[in-house]
């Protein structure tokens, strides 16, 4: 529930997230990015703490993790995080699956961090490449055939993933759904084996089904429930040089308790630490620490209730990039002076991804 009653007590800046005059901004919110919030202005940095216990922040060296599918064609992805709303897994497959699979608890959304290849689905073949988001509906039968070793970040929701409703910028921002790649049906002939294995992936499973024919035997389909790919290079970056934009402007898809967002580099970082009472964050470490060039973990999980702040990695990657952007922006302003608080579309630098889920289970 949101309230129209907003109070201001004590020493506060005139503008939200600005004019802090040495104070430290700490945002306390009840939900992900909705519901009632309070901005608390402190003397000290709320992220300067050490922690013990199950809700402590976690940094992950994902490059050191070895899912079983990295060395065994019959293996599977590695579970990294889970809760009542979603599971987050890591896959490094380089050999074709000798089996088919179905995720029957909910939809599957995968980000192709590295590699290229083919997904054989009931709806038809679907090529993928680096930077693709791959959406697979609940209980869809599919099989992965990599061309090169493929690293996938896999998000399995307990509900269906939905495209967020269009906002003030229109239905083609931050992305145009017409740029998604949708498969054409192409049944696969039997190859002479006695039976075909289909693994049902679910909590408490797996369960295995065996068919005497190839399960990819679909001659045609129609409807609005189908797999697709969408490349992050086609994602429009929404920025503002004058106002703080909530992270939901970068929302790609959402399910109950799960927000999946594309955080792309901007000309300035968010500076307000935030505490969410009902949400955790899993995101690339350069967006979660103060130093973008720090060696070590590349994924970070900020537990619900713990202060978190975007780091230098949320800015443009180098001073040269920032200066070039600033020069181009200044020239554009001279030619086209924008009105106050105009939201602008930015450039498309190197991407990062972030997702939010309800409450982690360690």
Angle at CA of residue 193, ends 188 and 199, nearest 5°: 75
Nearest residue to 305 (alpha-carbon basis) of 281, 272, 271: 281
Class of residue 203 by CB neighbours under 10 A (exposed 0-12, middle 13-18, buried 19+):
exposed
Pairwise CA distance, residues 130 & 112, whole Å: 5
3-state SS, residue 52: coil
d(CA 328, CA 285): 29
Q: How many Cβ atoms sit within 10 Å of the Cβ of residue 125? A: 15
The Cα 145–Cα 93 span in angstroms is 9
Q: 253: helix, coil or strand? A: strand
pLDDT of residue 80: 93
Query: CA-to-CA distance for 128 and 121, rounded, in angstroms?
Result: 12
For residue 332, the surrounding DSSP H or E stretch is: helix 319-335
> Which two three-digit tokens encode residue 202?
């679910």
Task: Decide: 97 and 144 in contact? Cβ < 8 Å.
Answer: yes
Domains by residue range for the chain, with CATH: 24-59+235-357 (no CATH), 66-232 (2.60.120.10)
Give the separation between CA 55 and CA 170, rounded to whole angstroms.
Answer: 39
Contact (Cβ atoms closer than 8 angstroms) between residue 46 and residue 26: yes
Backbone angles phi, psi at 325, to 5 degrees: -65, -40
- Contact call for residues 158 and 255 (beta carbons, < 8 A): yes
Q: What angle do CA 145, 147, 152 make, to 5 degrees?
A: 70
Structure tokens at 19: 């004019």
DSSP state of 351: B
Gap between the Cα atoms of 125 and 183, Å rounded:
6
Q: Which residues are CB-contacts of 302 (< 8 A; sequence separation ≥ 6)?
A: 57, 280, 281, 283, 288, 308
Residues 6+ apart with CB under 8 A from 214: 187, 188, 189, 190, 191, 196
Report the alpha-carbon distance of residue 16 to residue 270 in Å, rounded: 12
Paired with 170 in beta bridges are: 167
Please report the pLDDT score of residue 144 as a whole number. Answer: 98
Question: What would the two tokens of residue 224 be?
Answer: 């609005």
pLDDT of residue 334: 47
The pLDDT tens digits along the chain (362 residues) read 566 778 899 999 988 877 888 999 888 887 766 678 888 999 998 888 888 888 888 888 888 999 999 999 999 999 999 888 999 999 999 999 999 999 999 999 999 999 999 999 999 999 999 999 999 999 999 999 999 999 999 999 999 999 888 777 777 777 788 899 999 999 999 999 999 999 999 989 899 999 999 999 999 999 999 999 999 999 887 877 777 777 778 889 999 989 998 877 654 444 455 555 555 667 665 444 433 344 455 777 766 666 656 554 444 444 444 444 444 444 444 444 443 333 333 434 344 444 444 434 43
């Amino acid at each position: 529930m949101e309230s129209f009653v907003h109070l201001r007590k004590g020493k506060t800046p005139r503008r939200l997230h600005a004019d802090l005059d040495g104070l430290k901004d700490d945002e306390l919110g009840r939900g992900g990015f909705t519901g009632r919030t309070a901005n608390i202005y402190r003397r000290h940095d709320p992220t300067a703490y050490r922690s013990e216990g199950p809700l402590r922040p976690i940094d992950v060296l994902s490059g050191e993790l070895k899912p079983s599918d990295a060395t065994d064609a019959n293996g599977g992805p590695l579970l990294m995080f889970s809760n009542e709303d979603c599971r987050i897994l890591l896959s490094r497959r380089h050999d074709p699956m000798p089996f088919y699979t179905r995720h029957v608890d909910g939809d599957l959304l995968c980000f192709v961090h590295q590699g290229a290849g083919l997904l054989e689905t009931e709806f038809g073949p679907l090529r993928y490449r680096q930077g693709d988001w791959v959406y697979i509906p609940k209980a869809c039968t599919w099989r992965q055939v990599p061309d090169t070793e493929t690293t996938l970040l896999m998000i399995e929701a307990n509900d269906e993933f939905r495209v967020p409703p269009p906002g003030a910028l229109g239905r083609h921002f931050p992305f145009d759904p017409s740029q998604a790649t949708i498969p054409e049906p192409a049944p696969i002939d039997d190859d002479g084996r006695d039976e075909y294995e289909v693994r049902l992936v679910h909590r408490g499973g797996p369960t295995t089904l065996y068919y005497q024919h190839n399960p990819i035997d679909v001659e045609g389909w129609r409807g609005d429930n189908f797999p697709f790919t969408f490349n992050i290079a086609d994602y429009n970056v929404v920025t503002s040089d004058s106002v703080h934009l909530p992270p939901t402007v970068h929302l790609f898809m959402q399910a109950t308790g799960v927000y999946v967002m594309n955080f792309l580099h901007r000309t300035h970082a968010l500076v307000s630490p935030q505490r969410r009472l009902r949400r955790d964050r899993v995101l690339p470490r350069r967006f979660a620490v103060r130093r973008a060039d720090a060696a070590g973990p590349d994924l970070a999980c900020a537990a619900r209730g713990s202060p978190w702040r975007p780091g230098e990695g949320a800015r443009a990657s180098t001073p040269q990039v920032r200066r070039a952007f600033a020069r181009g922006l200044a020239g554009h302003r001279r030619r086209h002076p924008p009105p106050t608080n105009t939201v602008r579309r930015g450039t498309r630098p190197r991407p990062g991804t972030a997702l939010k889920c309800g409450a982690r289970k360690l």
